[in-house]
Amino acid sequence: MAISSVGIVGSGIMGSGIAEVAAANGHQVVLRSRSQATADAMVVGLEKSLARQVDKGKRSEVERDEILGRVSATTDLQALADADLVIESVVEDLAIKKHLFTELDRICKEGTILATNTSTLPVVELAMETGRPDRVCGIHFFNPAPLMSLVEVVRPITASEETLAAAIAFAEACGKEPVTVKDQAGFIVNALLFPYLNNAVRLLEQGVASMEGIDTAMKGGCGFPMGPFALLDLVGLDTSLAILDALYTEFKEPNYAAVPLLRRMVAAETLGRKSGQGFYDYRK
């Protein structure tokens, strides 16, 4: 099950990042976006990212051109039919992902492994939408995908050893450090991280300190590279809320119950860096 071609569905923060990682490590990549405008924007974003790396002396111009030559963007899901591996990275919504897995199962060749980049949702439910549950798993990258070394390889009870081995080998071929984890909401990182992020919003709501104060405290006091509010803005508040809701649905633990301020900010479409305004303002 050697993986040389990769299909990616979704051109948001993570889909774009995973496309860059896969292409930079020698894979042919077809990225599918819902509109031609966002597909084109992904390619422009990749060009800019690679140009920055050339400017910093991290890559040669030849490498940049080779990487770009391995990536194509399309609106046609059918273009992913012959991929060895498809990773979906669309919005964190179980119904939307289930529908997508049904479509991918219909379109993709028999041997294609179908993977999800979900942060929390039950992978087994996506596997059971297909006629190949043994060839479905989670391949969970971290944000920003080109920089973060961890990949959680998520094993639903339906997956075969071969599928897991292929997913691990793919993560390693991308220069990442895979850790295998059971298909349980939040896997490792988000199960531990999100109670902390949620409680930071609770402290803010309680007026214990300002958000700048809380961010400064967690950087200076714990040595974290960024504070909780900067991190929530990077992840996206809608994605963060979806993660907390999935964790709460699974475990019913109070620490996973999203605090009202977070839910209100998502309702107001204050989503973080991607919308220009989150806890911090990125429009200036």
Ligand X SMILES: NC(=O)c1ccc[n+]([C@@H]2O[C@H](COP(=O)([O-])OP(=O)(O)OC[C@H]3O[C@@H](n4cnc5c(N)ncnc54)[C@H](O)[C@@H]3O)[C@@H](O)[C@H]2O)c1
Interface with ligand X includes 11 (CB under 6 A)? yes
Query: Radius of gyration (Cα) for the chain, nearest Å?
Result: 19
Please state, in angstroms and as integers, the Cα–Cα distance from residue 196 to each residue in 93, 127, 259, following that order. Answer: 23, 30, 12
Interface with ligand X includes 10 (CB under 6 A)? yes
**Is 10 or 227 the residue whose CB approaches ligand X more closely?**
10
Interface with ligand X includes 13 (CB under 6 A)? yes
Interface with ligand X includes 235 (CB under 6 A)? yes
In angstroms, give the least distance from the CB of 275 to ligand X.
Answer: 9
Question: Rounded to an integer, what distance in angstroms lies between the CA atom of residue 224 and that of residue 193?
Answer: 12
Sign of the C-alpha dihedral, residues 181, 183, 184, 186?
positive
In angstroms, give the least distance from the CB of 62 to ligand X.
Answer: 30
In angstroms, give the least distance from the CB of 150 to ligand X.
Answer: 10
In angstroms, give the least distance from the CB of 55 to ligand X.
Answer: 25
Q: Is 140 a catalytic residue?
A: yes
Q: Which of 16, 27, 88, 140 is catalytic?
A: 140
Provide the b/e sequence for 56-95 (b: ≥16 CB within 10 Å). eeebeeeebeebeebbbbeeebebbbebbbbbbbbebebe
Interface with ligand X includes 270 (CB under 6 A)? no
Interface with ligand X includes 274 (CB under 6 A)? yes
Q: How many residues does the structure list for the chain? A: 284
Interface with ligand X includes 236 (CB under 6 A)? yes
Give residue number: closest CB to ligand X.
12
Q: Is 16 a catalytic residue?
A: no
Beta bridge partners of 115: 87, 137
Provide the b/e sequence for 247-274 (b: ≥16 CB within 10 Å). bbebeeeeebebbeebeebbeeebbbbb
Which of 96, 165, 208, 226 is the binder for ligand X (CB under 6 A)? Answer: 96
Indicate the residue type of 205.
Answer: E
Residue with tokens 């899901």: 77
Interface with ligand X includes 249 (CB under 6 A)? no
Q: Is 66 a catalytic residue?
A: no
**Is 263 or 274 the residue whose CB approaches ligand X more closely?**
274
Q: Which residues are catalytic?
A: 119, 140, 152, 190
Q: Kindly list the residues in this chain that would bind ligand X in the complex (CB under 6 A).
A: 10-15, 34, 89-92, 96, 117-119, 140-143, 235-236, 239, 274
